[in-house]
Structure 1
């Protein structure tokens, strides 16, 4: 049995916060590998300057290069359309029924689980691993999810506080400021080469 973590997101662009979260989950939860899985469509219409799913997939590949614990899955990009976690987990389980799945989220996302499509289906298919961050208490998450069947499948791992976000990075690029050390060098170089996120980009 292989223990596989899944970290979904827009990754517009991927940054050190994403990588640290994946690495900490891998180490603390004993995962064999963690998949970064970019969505096809950003979940919020206000996601600005999206260079497109293939571009975000490419940036994720560059971000994880050289780290044997991390891989990239194109499942949601290949499928197209809006992505629902329960559908993604079903697809992974159907392809690899022997894998033990762990879905990695931040505390704020964990709190919203009851509003997701088939939240109990998510908990049947995967352990929910919640990154511990300032401002979201473990007991608050437990209380919020207590009414769901499978709530005992929620686990927690420590996440260093990193005040970096994709929106911050897009803004820095649009202002002509450096994003070095906030993303892997290969990601910064590809963004510069392609001119993604510059001021005036759609």
Structure 2
């Protein structure tokens, strides 16, 4: 059987407890998980890509599982480029591009979605507050997507909450030293 690799690109601005739960949950469903920080052309980012990659690396190291890796070479603002790089890197593996339900509704507007959806499986993770509607899935299927809805329980966290309200309780503990060192997101002290 061909091993399937879960591909999870994220803005990681900053990584949250939700990112941690998602990465750990993907390990229950895939032989391997590759993640990276990326620039989303539809978002404004508060921290540089290098810093966000460093934060994500700290989270991956804290998860401490050899089946998960950060691969920053996959990073691109465009999914088609990421998938071309992943297919070149792992030519003998099936690829599953993972998104949250909040992004699933945007995919039809992404560059070359009708092309890249045919090159991989699409893994969709329901997020609290972003319901996954059957018509959204059907629209993706019409574009050629083979969809797997992943049964993961992800806490209702959002990077935007941290950026806008300094929601310190949503930040994984291993990230605090880097956040404070780089004076990111207006955070002053790690919670005790």
TM bin (shorter chain): 0.7 to 0.9
Residue 35 (structure 1) aligns with: 34
Deviations 1:90-148 (A, max 9, x none): 11101221121110011131122221222232222210000123442352332222321
Deviations 1:60-88 (A, max 9, x none): 110011133321111155xxxx6210111
Gaps of 5+ in 2: 188-192
Selected match of 1:126 from 120, 128, 138: 120
Selected match of 1:61 from 57, 60, 67: 57
Gaps of 5+ in 1: none
Q: 1:20 and 1:137, CA in 2 relative to 1: closer, same or farther beyond 3 A?
A: same
Q: How many residues align?
A: 183
Q: 1:2 and 1:189, CA in 2 relative to 1: closer, same or farther beyond 3 A?
A: same
Distance in 2 of aligned mates of 1:76 and 1:110? 20
Shift of 1:183: 2.4
TM-score, normalised by the number of residues in structure 2? 0.83
| Range with greater deviation from structure 2 (160-169 or 185-194) | 160-169
Residue 190 (structure 2) aligns with: none
Q: 1:24 and 1:45, CA in 2 relative to 1: closer, same or farther beyond 3 A?
A: closer
TM-score, normalised by the number of residues in structure 1? 0.80
Q: Is the Cα contact below 8 Å between 1:133 and 1:158 reproduced in 2?
A: no
Residue 159 (structure 2) aligns with: 166
Q: Is the Cα contact below 8 Å between 1:4 and 1:102 reproduced in 2?
A: yes
Residue 186 (structure 1) aligns with: 174
